[in-house]
Amino acid sequence: MALQPQSAWDLPPTVGRQISFVSIQADGAPSAIARDVAQRLRQALAARGHAVLHVSGGKSPVALFHALRGQLLDWSRVQVSLADERCLPMGHADSNATLVQAHLLQGPAAHAKFVPLVPQRTEPLPPISELARHADQALRAMGPADVLILGLGSDGHTASIFPTMAALAQALDDHNPLTCMPVESDCTAPQARYARVTQTLAHLLSARHIVLPVAGADKQAVLRLACQRTQPQYPISFVLHQSKAPVAVWICP
């Protein structure tokens, strides 16, 4: 399916030239996106012999995970990791790793190699700075993602780059040499009640292809604002106004 800009959005010229938009009915979106992602992973397997898939957590991608796990490809040669993770032991109900293992790494996709950002299974966990260093090393060892599935929060955050985080400028620096950095818990942001580790914008933009599904009127309203210009209060805007990585925005009314 060709992705073409949607004229109804009246996109400003500052939106990156590699950013494309497609509008698709919500009931068909998971299957359509899954087919597109799987095809890109097959191309990576053919070109390099292996493929890297990075995904996001939350409730939004669950249906996509269910559609993706049944796609026909050699999952044994696919590495799967995360855009961000809560600083929780593996197996915790609120960890992104638990979500991915329960909803994506099933059936044929169970043969994929999962690389968690927080591998510890018991508490207490090491300090967040140590967890971030481990995640940084794991991401460097994997290399760039062939496909990165990002999410969009109603506050404009993506991965765990929140507009309220103390180190926001560093996280959004597209020349940041770090692949991953710590995110302290922030009681003013309900989504950030756990400390986290997140890929930096610089590393997110190293992906060969970024997928951004946007469903619901509230998130589409945020997307419209983020399309206007780069704005720190909408971290997702820095993904939209760049020319380093191609981004396919799937709009699901």
Structure tokens at 225: 């604002």
Residue 1 within a domain = no
Residue type, 243: S
Assess if residue 90 is contained within a domain.
yes
Query: Does any domain span residue 11?
Result: no
Residue 244 belongs to a domain with what CATH number?
3.40.50.1360
Counting residues of the chain whose pLDDT is more than 70, the rounded percentage is: 92
pLDDT at position 100, please?
98
Given a cut of 60, whether residue 187 has pLDDT beyond it is no
Please state the domain count of the chain. Answer: 1
Averaged pLDDT, 12-29: 83
Residues 13-20 have a mean pLDDT of: 80
Is residue 230 included in any domain, yes or no?
A: yes
**Higher-scoring residue by pLDDT: 16, 61:** 61
Is the residue at 9 inside a domain?
no
* Structure confidence at residue 12 as a pLDDT band (50, 70, 90): low
Q: What is the mean pLDDT of residues 172-193?
A: 83
Strands 196-199 and 180-183, by their bridges, are antiparallel
Q: Give mean pLDDT, residues 175-187.
A: 89
Answer whether residue 193 shows pLDDT above 80: no
pLDDT at position 3 is: 41
Give yes or no for residue 140 having a pLDDT over 80.
yes
Sheet of 180-183: strands edge to edge?
Answer: 84-86, 196-199, 180-183
- The CB-side HSE value for 17 (13 A sphere, CA atoms) comes to 2
Residue that has been written with the tokens 């302290």 in this structure: 184
Domain boundaries, position 144: 19-252
Residues 71-91 pLDDT 10s: 999 999 999 999 999 999 999
Q: What is the pLDDT of residue 10?
A: 59
Residue 188, CA distances (Å) to 42, 95, 235 in order: 42, 20, 17
Q: How high is the pLDDT of residue 9?
A: 55
Q: Kindly tell me if the per-residue pLDDT of 143 is higher than 90.
A: yes
pLDDT reading at 222 higher than 90: yes
Residue 209 lies in a domain: yes
Residue 226 counted as domain residue: yes
Inside any domain, residue 245: yes
What is the average per-residue pLDDT within 222-251? 96
